[in-house]
A and B are shown apart, each in its own frame.
Chain A
Amino acid sequence: MLWLGLYFPELPLEVFLRGTTDRSPAAVHAVRDGRETVLRCNAAARAAGVHPGLPVPAALALLPRLRLWPRDAEREQRAMEALALWAWQYSSRLYREPALLLLEIGASLRLFGGMEALLGRIEAELPALGHAARLAVAHTATAAALLARERPGARVASREALLPWLEDIPMARLSADPRVRQLVRDIGLHGIGDVLRLPRPELARRVGPGLPALLDRLLGDAPDPRLPWQPPPHFLEWLELPAELDDREALRFPARRLLLTLCGWLRGQGAATQHLRWHLRHPDDQPETVFAQTLLRPERDAEYLLARFGERLQRLELPAPVRALGLEVRDCLAFSERTAALLDAPAGGEAAGEWLERLHSRLGPRLTGLCPVADHRPERAQRCCAPGEAGARSSWRGELPLWLLPQPRPLRVRAGRPWHRGALELLGPPRRIETGWWDGDDVARDYYLACNPANERFWIYRDRRGGGWFLHGLFD
């Protein structure tokens, strides 16, 4: 087995900044030794002299406009959950620890084209999610976690290769047990290497069996049973925005991050989705804005979905500024890579049908197909349907108009003849349509092809009950 450790040292600050492109000075503070001190700060704050450990009043003296948030452990938890959802595409065995993810990648290496390709891909995607990670690979989960924190960049695949890396790592970084700390102080041990050289029975006698067992798990001498993380059956993720947004275009940025997470979750279960629900949370207990985004076919490519989201935004009126953006997916479908490959256009071109999806996203219900319906009443002989879904059956005979008016229009009668931009001459025998008594919308009409002096041809009928003339269709 091969474990990838991903450690997120900046997580306390990232959870506040992920939703925005604002790079102005920002920091997270927490209580340390009874004082509010800076825990993490961004590059702009560091440039002005703010650094972790600095008391908050001192930081504000340096930078009065510093954006400051108290540490939010709950948000960090949720961010780790989102990271696990995203990472699900790379491993089906995943452990979550505070600020740390562990992925078993031994089984996925071939699928992703080897370790370098896989790590390269993960490292490229993390900034897009709004996170910075330190990576390490080891043959045990415990070692991968330790190395990701203490020796990022390490890649070891065996016990022998691991030992030199452990030599100088302070023992306290592996175990917070006070008895271990005491031991380290008492006999002047420093690194983990020193501890490993002590006989195990002696160690167990002094500090109990916990430490030797931990060392065995670290080296791979003993199994490391843990409860693997399980993905939720539905997807619902929120991204809180550090400042309220009132420009809908600015929603693309947080949307991309949510979509990357979604697509990781979808890929992890070999699925794709056709139905997305977006939630916009507004200030002051205003009701949430919720809108659905329906695609013409299941998809799971984040950039593609983002393009569709962008088009959907065109139809959106923001009732109020947005404080948080949520994405919910409840239905997914099995996704076949083969189908996707068949549908995809050659490199460089857009995927087949993408233009249609783009129209659909932007136009919504104003984009339709038309489907014939088996009914003898012209106004009921067709209905709107989804593009491409119409069946081709229609049993109409005789000469038919190409256009149908939305409502039959009453015609004037002059000298006993129906009139439309001139007296109408009836051509040919009538077509009698008498139907619909069963649904209360019965008609009894005689339809004629008619022509006026300007050679314009119309489809008109005489209502056999009321006797009036109506224009119903146009030829040509």
Chain B
Amino acid sequence: MAAPLIDKLVAEGVDRRLLWRGRELHSPGGDVVPSGWPVLDDCLGGGWPRGALGELLSRRGLGLSLALPLLARESGAGRWIGWVAPPQSPFVPALVQGGVDPARLLLVGERDAAEGLWAAEQMLRSGECGVVLIWPGHLTSAQIRRLQLAAGAGNAIGLLFRSLRDAAQPSPAALRLRLLPAPLGVEVEVLKRRGGWGGRRCLVPLRQR
């Protein structure tokens, strides 16, 4: 009885950033993929964590433009880009202009949240999706952990687009970013990252790349 309780407390402690697992500190960053934005890479410890989940928290679903170079890189390598329940349709000419191969786009229109999560998990786990972009409804910690495990199993990058309110909820995601619109781009605050402390901020200059 005792061991599962300790595991649970440790997991919660890690989620709340009260605890760090030793092995995570010794392998700072792990496998990362450059984001295409040098200033952001600097903040993230090298780039987006592969085989893990990242959360982009903002008022109105910001962040796709931050991920655009990543989508171009992954689709260029022949990997699928999954979109689960996007709030509206991505504009394909803009994606093509950003270097994304549209033949690798895989969209799931949502009927209900459970089905969206099922699809997201299948994609993350497949080993053939480079990035899975997910616009979930409310998520429990257990659901996020499950997606995180799936991302690990498929060595994919899962990006959750969530609202600012969700920042208060502890999360097992490897990376959590708070995004705010700024005059020349997006201001990014790192709330949590693998192998490092949160708290760093940067301005990603979306306008003059």
Interface residues of A (CB under 8 A from B): 352-353, 355-356, 358-359, 362-363, 366-372, 378, 381-382, 384, 387-394, 396-397, 400-406, 454-457, 473-476
Q: Which residues of chain B come closer than 8 Å to A355, judged between CB atoms?
A: 122-123, 125-126, 128
Q: With A402-B95, A455-B183 known to touch, is A388 a contact of B103 (CB < 8 Å)? A: yes
Report the nearest A residue to B94, measured CB to CB.
A400
Task: Tell me if B13 counts as interface (CB < 8 A to partner A).
Answer: no
Select one of B96, B111, B125 contacting A372, CB under 8 A: B96
> Could you tell me the dominant secondary structure of chain B's interface residues?
mixed
- Give every chain A residue within 8 A of B128 (Cβ-Cβ): 352-353, 355-356
Cα-based distance from A106 to B122 in the complex (angstroms): 45
Contact A366 B109 (CB under 8 A): yes
Q: What total of chain B residues lie within 8 Å of the partner, measured CB to CB? A: 43
CB of A390, distance to nearest CB on chain B (Å)? 4
Q: Are B93 and A358 in contact (CB under 8 A)?
A: no
Question: How far, in angstroms, from A369 to B92 measured CA to CA in the complex?
Answer: 10
Task: Establish whether residues B65 and A476, one from each chain, have CB atoms under 8 Å apart when the complex forms.
Answer: yes
Q: Are B89 and A406 in contact (CB under 8 A)?
A: yes
CA distance A456 to B206 in the complex (A): 12
Instruction: Determine if A370 and B126 form an interchain contact, defined as CB atoms under 8 angstroms apart.
Output: no
In the complex, the answer to whether B91 meets A401 with C-beta atoms within 8 Å is: yes
Contact A456 B181 (CB under 8 A): yes
Q: Which of A368, A396, A454 contacts B97 (CB 8 A)?
A: A396
B126: chain A residues within 8 A (beta carbon): 355-356
Using CB atoms, name the residue of chain A closest to B65.
Answer: A476
The contact sample of 19 A-B pairs, CB cut-off 8 A, is: A355-B126, A356-B106, A363-B115, A363-B119, A367-B119, A368-B106, A369-B102, A370-B105, A370-B107, A372-B92, A372-B102, A381-B91, A387-B80, A387-B105, A400-B93, A402-B91, A402-B95, A403-B88, A455-B183
A370 and B90 contacting across the interface, CB-CB below 8 Å: yes
Chain A residue nearest to B183 in the complex (CB): A455
- Tell me which of A358, A367, A390, A476 has the highest count of chain B C-beta atoms within 10 A of its own C-beta: A476
**Cβ contacts under 8 Å, B14 to chain A:** none
B residues 143-195 near A (Cβ < 8 Å) are 181-183, 186
With beta carbons under 8 angstroms apart, the residue of B60, B88, B118 that contacts A406 is B88
- Asked whether A402 lies within 8 Å of B109 as measured between CB atoms, the reply is no
Report which of B101, B105, B110, B186 forms a contact with A476, defined as CB distance below 8 A.
Answer: B186
Instruction: Contact check, A378 vs B91: say whether CB atoms are below 8 A apart.
Output: yes
Q: Which residues of B contact A367 (CB under 8 A)?
A: 106-108, 119
- State the Cβ distance, B190 to closest chain A Cβ, in Å: 18
Instruction: Give Cα A389 to B95, complex, Å.
Output: 16
- Is B64 positioned at the interface, with any CB of A under 8 Å from its CB? yes
Chain B residues closer than 8 Å to A474, beta-carbon distance: 88
Contact of A404 with B182 in the complex, beta carbons under 8 Å: no
Contacts of B118 in A (CB 8 A): 362
Chain B residues closer than 8 Å to A457, beta-carbon distance: 181
The yes or no answer to B54 lying at the interface (CB within 8 A) is no
B residues less than 8 Å from A368 (CB atoms): 106-107, 109
Residues of A within 8 A of B111 (CB): 366
How many residue pairs, one in A and one in B, have C-beta atoms under 8 Å apart? 132
Which chain A residues lie closer than 8 Å to B101 at the CB level?
A: 392
B91 touches A403 (CB 8 A): yes
Q: How far is the CA of A199 from the CA of B5 in the complex (A)?
A: 90
Contact B182 A475 (CB under 8 A): no
Q: Given A359-B123, A476-B181, are A402 and B90 neighbors across the interface (CB < 8 Å)?
A: yes
Q: How far does the alpha carbon of A397 sit from the alpha carbon of B103 in the complex, in Å?
A: 20
> Is B63 interfacial (CB-CB < 8 Å)?
yes
Are B107 and A404 within 8 A (Cβ)? no
Alpha-carbon separation in the docked complex, A352 to B118 (Å): 19
CB distance from A221 to the nearest CB of B (A): 61
B68 within 8 A of A: yes
Bound CA span A65–B88, Å: 60
A355 to B106 alpha-carbon distance, docked (Å): 12
**Known contacts A382-B89, A390-B103, A405-B88, A359 near B119 by CB under 8 Å:** yes
Q: Does B62 contact A (CB under 8 A)?
A: yes
Do B93 and A396 touch across chains, with their CB atoms under 8 A apart?
Answer: yes
Q: Which residues of B contact A381 (CB under 8 A)?
A: 91-93
Distance of A448 from chain B, by nearest CB (Å)? 15
Contacts of B60 in A (CB 8 A): 456
Partner of A382, one of B87, B88, B93, B122: B93
Q: Provide the bound-state CA to CA distance between A475 and B206, in Å.
A: 10
Residues of B near A359 (CB, < 8 A) are 106, 108, 119, 122-123
B125: chain A residues at CB < 8 Å are: 355
Contact check, A403 vs B89: say whether CB atoms are below 8 A apart. Answer: yes
Q: How far is the CA of A388 from the CA of B79 in the complex (A)?
A: 11
Q: Are B93 and A394 in contact (CB under 8 A)?
A: yes
CA distance A406 to B108 in the complex (A): 16
Query: Are A400 and B91 neighbours in the complex by a CB distance under 8 Å?
Result: yes
Task: Give chain B residues whose Cβ lies under 8 Å from the Cβ of A370.
Answer: 89-90, 92, 102, 105, 107
Q: B177 to nearest A CB, angstroms?
A: 13
Distance (whole angstroms) from the CB of B41 to the closest CB of chain A = 19
Interface string of B119-145 (1 = CB under 8 A from A): 100110110100000000000000000
**B181 neighbours in A (Cβ, 8 Å):** 454-457, 476
**Given that A396-B93, A405-B88 are contacting pairs, would A369 and B115 also be in contact in the complex, using a CB cutoff of 8 Å?**
no
Could you tell me the distance between the alpha carbons of A381 and B96 in the complex, rounded to whole angstroms? 12
| Cα–Cα, bound, A378→B181 (Å) | 25
Q: Is the CB of A394 within 8 A of B92?
A: yes
Indicate the member of B93, B108, B128 with the most A CB atoms within 10 Å: B93
CA distance A424 to B21 in the complex (A): 48
CB-based closest 8 A-B pairs: A400-B94, A455-B181, A396-B93, A355-B126, A390-B102, A382-B92, A394-B96, A404-B91
